[in-house]
Amino acid sequence: MCDWLLKPPTHIKVTGDLETVLTWLEEQWRQLESSLAYPGQEQRLGGGEGRLKDAQDALRHCGSMAWGHWLRAERFGLTAVVGCPDVHAPHYRCPTGR
- Residue 94 placed within a domain: no
Amino acid, single-letter form, for residue 67: W
- Residue 52 placed within a domain: yes
Tell me if 35 sits within 8 A of 71, measured CB to CB. Answer: yes
The span from the CA of 21 to the CA of 84, in Å, is 13
Residue 14's contacts (CB-CB under 8 Å, 6 or more residues apart) are 20, 21, 24
- Residue 86 placed within a domain: no
Q: How many domains does the chain have?
A: 1
Domain that holds residue 77: 2-6+17-81
- Residue 29 placed within a domain: yes
**Is pLDDT above 80 for 93?**
yes
- Residue 58 placed within a domain: yes
- Residue 35 placed within a domain: yes
pTM of the model: 0.84
CA end-to-end distance (rounded Å), the chain: 18
- On average, the pLDDT of the chain sits at 89
pLDDT tens sequence across 40-68: 887 877 778 888 999 999 999 989 999 99
- Residue 87 placed within a domain: no
- Residue 34 placed within a domain: yes
